[in-house]
């Protein structure tokens, strides 16, 4: 199955920029962190989405639809937030336990990616309004705008944070003693 060019940029483009402006080590850190962050979709979003995809069509014409959609959105947001928070907290000890010491730094990127996925899933939830109003062209337009923004952010942020990441790597301090500033590139946000 071939991916559309916009999906390639959206889903895989940051790895290319990481390789061009950084190193293969940084691509490895990113991939490991992305595996952990993707648990949010696998464990929480996919089961919820499979149920809600059909249920939303049953509810949208009912008189209590705004209340139902509001409650479901709040519930989904809460569960996704708690899931992203748990993944962010437990990624570090799990990565420390399961990977070689060279990959332990990947855990610092997990929260950025997990919360990036959270906002992406909430966007998918909100896209339903475009479906029922038959304004689906706006979904495509928004996707292309997102690709353009991500591309610009990749060019601007990856070189800057890549240099910052390499300077940190040169120091002997462990990741936990470093400030809250992101040690890796938040390109997937």
Domain range enclosing 23:
5-177
pLDDT computed for residue 6 by the predictor: 57
Neighbours of 183 (CB within 10 A): 20
Using DSSP's 3-state secondary structure scheme, residue 178 falls into: coil
Count of domains for the chain: 1
Q: What angle do CA 158, 125, 71 make, to 5 degrees?
A: 125
Average pLDDT over every residue of 88-111? 92
Question: Is the CB of residue 73 less than 8 Å from the CB of residue 115?
Answer: no
The predicted structure's pLDDT at residue 4? 56
pLDDT at residue 183 above 70? no
Q: What is the pLDDT of residues 61-79, one digit of tens each?
A: 899 999 999 999 999 999 9
Asked if residue 170 belongs to a domain, the reply is yes
Report the pLDDT value the prediction gives residue 91, as an integer from 0 to 100. 95
Does residue 188 sit within a domain? no
Assigned domain for 146 exists: yes
Strongest mean pLDDT among 6-15, 29-38, 60-69, 72-81 = 72-81
Q: Take residue 131 and report the two structure tokens written for it.
A: 């479906």
Residue 46: inside a domain, yes or no?
A: yes
The predicted model scores a pTM of 0.76
CB distance 188 to 34 below 8 Å: yes
* Look-up of token digits 């940084």: 26
144 within some domain: yes
């Amino acid at each position: 199955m071939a991916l559309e060019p916009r999906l390639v940029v959206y889903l895989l483009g940051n790895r290319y920029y990481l390789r061009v402006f950084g190193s293969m080590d940084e691509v490895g850190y990113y991939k490991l962190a992305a595996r952990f962050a993707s648990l949010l979709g696998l464990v929480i979003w996919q089961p919820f989405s499979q149920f809600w995809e059909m249920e939303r069509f049953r509810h949208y014409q009912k008189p209590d639809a705004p209340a139902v959609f509001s409650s479901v959105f709040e519930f989904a947001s809460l569960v996704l937030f708690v899931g992203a928070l748990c993944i962010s907290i437990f990624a570090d000890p799990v990565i420390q336990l399961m990977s070689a010491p060279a990959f332990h730094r990947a855990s610092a990127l997990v929260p950025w990616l997990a919360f990036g996925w959270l906002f992406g899933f909430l966007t998918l939830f909100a896209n339903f309004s475009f479906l029922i109003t038959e304004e689906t062209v706006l979904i495509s337009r928004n996707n292309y705008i997102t690709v353009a923004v991500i591309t610009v952010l990749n060019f601007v942020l990856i070189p800057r944070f890549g240099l910052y990441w390499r300077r940190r790597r040169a120091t002997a301090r462990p990741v936990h003693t470093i400030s809250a500033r992101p040690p890796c590139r938040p390109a997937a946000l």
